[in-house]
């Protein structure tokens, strides 16, 4: 069975943040998919490098990659949750402006600029622009509280995805923008929060995510999708 059923038998993919646990597993999974004719992975340390906190870097990477496209699938797999000595806030007293700004810069503002500069590289046929989001960014699903910066940065990312999905449909009528929840995955990001014990192996999560993406209906301009194929309330 094809892992990305709705992208046909000859698709091209680009993964941004390809050195992270999830990004690298997604690249590997597509490298072994016979229907994938090209998969490119870029990161801060790749030959064509990209730092999503710097718009010039984003713009440069998109113009260098233009000749490799159009891409049927673009996945942005960057993100932060903690950065020593700061860990996600459990209560209001722990809110810190530097941390709020850093988390929003990487999880929200950077992805907005990546969508701005990279959506032009999409195929005008059926295509997907995916940003790895997180279920904790669901406003409806927030029952536990805490993790203020991270939750809010992903909720704002989801709003950007939904808004861009509406605009991009006007010129790319078969494109869907996806906010994708990967599940808990064993990675550098999840490691301090038990990801090593409770998380899925990145390879397993990647396969599930690609299968779920393969089922996204063409009719949706945007969707908040879980790795298991279910949809999540915004
Ligand atoms: N793991 C989980 O359980 C889990 C759960 C829900 C959501 N997510 C989401 O999944 C995504 C991927 O996380 P992961 O678990 O794979 O973590 P990870 O292994 O730490 O990967 C994070 C990636 O983000 C990149 N990055 C950070 N700042 C960047 C910048 N300024 N420019 C370019 N790249 C930058 C890192 O690149 P460098 O190596 O250059 O720093 C790395 O490739 C994130 O959006 C995260 O919020 C993860």
* 195 ligand 1 Cβ < 6 A: yes
Task: Supply the pLDDT for residue 190.
Answer: 87
Task: Supply the pLDDT for residue 195.
Answer: 77
> Could you read off the pLDDT of 120-153 as tens digits, one per residue?
999 999 999 999 999 999 999 999 999 999 999 9
Residue 1 has pLDDT above 80, yes or no: no
The SS3 assignment for 75 reads strand
* Integer Cα distance of 170 and 219 in angstroms: 13
Å from CA of 144 to ligand 1 middle: 23
Angle between helices 148-171 and 97-104 (to 10 degrees): 30
Residue in this structure with the two tokens 């030959």, named with its chain if needed:
47
Cα→Cα distances 177→7, 82, 98, Å: 14, 26, 30
Residue 92 has pLDDT above 90, yes or no: yes
Mean local confidence (pLDDT), 68-97: 94
Q: Name the pLDDT band for 188 (thresholds 50, 70, 90).
A: confident
Task: Supply the pLDDT for residue 47.
Answer: 97
Domains annotated on the chain, with CATH: 5-226 (3.40.50.720)
- Token pair of 150 as six digits: 């991270």
* 19 ligand 1 Cβ < 6 A: yes
Mean local confidence (pLDDT), 25-37: 97
The SS3 assignment for 12 reads strand
* Integer Cα distance of 89 and 228 in angstroms: 28
56-76 burial string, b = 16+ CB within 10 Å, else e? ebbebbbeebeeebebbbbbb
Residue minimizing CA distance to atom 8 of ligand 1 = 134
Percent of the chain with pLDDT over 70: 100
* 165 ligand 1 Cβ < 6 A: no
Residue 43 has pLDDT above 70, yes or no: yes
* 51 ligand 1 Cβ < 6 A: yes
Question: How confident is the prediction for the chain on average, in pLDDT?
Answer: 95
* 111 ligand 1 Cβ < 6 A: no
Residues in the chain: 234
Å from CA of 189 to ligand 1 middle: 7
Task: Supply the pLDDT for residue 86.
Answer: 77
Mean local confidence (pLDDT), 149-174: 98
- Taking only Cα atoms into account, the Rg of the chain, rounded to an integer number of angstroms, comes to 17
Q: Name the pLDDT band for 8 (thresholds 50, 70, 90).
A: confident
**Which has the higher per-residue pLDDT, 168 or 2?**
168
The string of DSSP codes covering 13-67 is EEEESTTSHHHHHHHHHHHT-TTEEEEEEE-TTSSS---TT-HHHHHHHHHHHGG
Q: Name the pLDDT band for 198 (thresholds 50, 70, 90).
A: confident
Mean local confidence (pLDDT), 215-230: 96
Q: Name the pLDDT band for 23 (thresholds 50, 70, 90).
A: very high
* Integer Cα distance of 174 and 172 in angstroms: 6
Which ligand 1 atom sits nearest the alpha carbon of residue 185? Answer: 3
Residue minimizing CA distance to atom 7 of ligand 1 = 134
* 191 ligand 1 Cβ < 6 A: no
Residue minimizing CA distance to atom 45 of ligand 1 = 79
Å from CA of 20 to ligand 1 middle: 5
């Amino acid at each position: 069975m094809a892992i990305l059923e709705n992208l046909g038998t000859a698709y091209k993919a680009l993964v941004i943040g390809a050195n992270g646990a999830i990004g690298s597993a997604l690249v590997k999974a597509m490298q072994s998919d016979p229907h994938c004719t090209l998969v490119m992975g870029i990161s801060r340390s790749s030959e064509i490098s990209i730092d999503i906190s710097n718009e010039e870097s984003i713009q440069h990477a998109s113009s260098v990659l233009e000749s490799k496209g159009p891409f049927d699938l673009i996945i942005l797999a960057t993100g932060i949750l903690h950065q020593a000595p700061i860990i996600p806030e459990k209560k209001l007293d722990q809110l810190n402006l530097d941390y709020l700004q850093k988390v929003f810069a990487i999880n929200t503002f950077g992805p907005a600029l990546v969508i701005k500069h990279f959506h032009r590289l999409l195929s005008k046929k059926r295509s997907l622009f995916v940003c790895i989001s997180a279920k904790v960014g669901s406003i409806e699903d927030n029952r536990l509280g805490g993790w203020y910066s991270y939750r809010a940065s992903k909720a704002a990312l989801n709003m950007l995805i939904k808004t861009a999905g509406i605009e991009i449909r006007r010129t790319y009528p078969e494109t869907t923008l996806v906010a994708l929840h990967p599940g808990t995955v064993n990675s550098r990001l999840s490691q301090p929060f038990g990801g090593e014990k409770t998380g899925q192996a990145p390879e397993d999560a990647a396969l599930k995510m690609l299968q779920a993406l393969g089922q996204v209906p063409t009719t949706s301009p945007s969707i908040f999708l879980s790795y298991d194929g279910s949809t999540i309330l915004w």
